[in-house]
């Protein structure tokens, strides 16, 4: 527990990895909602069970909330959309279900990690309001439908991990018209494998100059492998297998000196 040096107000609670599964702590947890000036609450891997306490959404000044690697069940409460100061939300490896709901209102969010849960439904165009996103991980869930290109409104995106869902439609790689595409210039990881994407790989992918990892395996991609992929000179890992691609491997791939596999 950390207090602000000037005011002695509790600003951070970090019990990561501690065993807090007992009934006493479960009773105490709602009281955290009274800590109005709390900035960081980290209860990752503490054995926490039950539903998401709505009183935690009273923490209007909270910037980091990590409840990952616990036995949380039920849905994410709608009230989470009021936690507008959140910059990092970690709810990975739990048992939560339902849809993203009002998470789209968290416009200051930089890191959203919801991997390995039972979340589903479609991704709404409102995700385009989350302009400060740097890392998005929705992998190993039950999401369906197309991924709206509005996701790419977040120009600071560095990682997009959507693997092992049931996404369909075109790859969310570029935004805008074919002749004038827009991509997040800082993107280094694009992990979209094990879905049902069924478009071709767009030529505009060459604009992702900083891409280091591209995983598109086990989808329904068709057409030829674009020679423009050879312009991604920082690429270290690329996976295209188990698709319906045709033709030969472009000779331009020889330019990818950093490619290891």
pLDDT confidence of residue 24: 45
| Bridge partner list, 65 | 41, 89
CA distance 32 to 38: 9
The whole-angstrom distance between residue 86's C-alpha and the CA centroid of its chain comes to: 14
* 3-48 confidence digits (pLDDT tens): 766 666 888 889 898 887 665 456 666 677 778 889 999 999 998 8
- Strand (E) or helix (H) holding 213: strand 213-215
Residue with tokens 């709602």: 30
Map tokens 């302009």 to a residue.
Answer: 131
Question: 72: which 2 tokens?
Answer: 């949380």
Please give the helix or strand (H or E) that residue 23 lies within, else none.
helix 23-28
| Distance between start and end Cα atoms, the chain | 44
- Please report where in the chains the tokens 């609450």 appear, as a residue: 41
Q: pLDDT tens for residues 198-212?
A: 999 988 888 898 999
* pTM for the predicted model, two decimal places: 0.93
Q: How far apart are CA 253 and CA 242, in angstroms?
A: 19
């Amino acid at each position: 527990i950390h207090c602000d040096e000037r005011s002695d107000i509790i600003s951070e609670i970090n019990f990561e990895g501690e065993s807090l599964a007992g009934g006493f702590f479960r009773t105490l947890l709602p009281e955290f909602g009274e800590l109005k000036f709390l900035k960081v609450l980290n209860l990752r891997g503490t054995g926490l069970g039950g539903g998401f306490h709505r009183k935690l959404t009273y923490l209007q000044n909270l910037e980091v909330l990590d409840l990952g690697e616990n036995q949380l069940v039920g849905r994410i409460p709608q009230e989470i959309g009021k936690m507008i100061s959140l910059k990092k939300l970690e709810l990975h490896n739990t048992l939560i279900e339902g849809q993203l709901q009002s998470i789209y209102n968290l416009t200051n969010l930089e890191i959203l990690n919801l991997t390995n849960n039972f979340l589903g439904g479609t991704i709404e165009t409102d995700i385009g309001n989350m302009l400060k996103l740097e890392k998005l991980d929705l992998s190993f869930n039950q999401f369906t439908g197309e991924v709206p290109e509005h996701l790419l409104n977040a120009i600071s995106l560095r990682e997009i991990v959507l693997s092992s869902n049931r996404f369909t439609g075109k790859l969310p790689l570029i935004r805008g018209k074919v002749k004038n595409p827009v991509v997040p210039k800082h993107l280094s990881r694009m992990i979209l494998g094990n879905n049902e994407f069924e478009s071709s790989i767009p030529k505009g992918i060459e604009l992702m100059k900083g891409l280091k990892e591209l995983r598109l395996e086990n989808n329904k991609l068709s057409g030829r492998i674009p020679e423009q992929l050879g312009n991604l000179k920082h690429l270290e890992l690329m996976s295209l297998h188990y698709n319906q691609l045709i033709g030969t491997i472009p000779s331009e791939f020889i330019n990818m000196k950093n490619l290891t596999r």
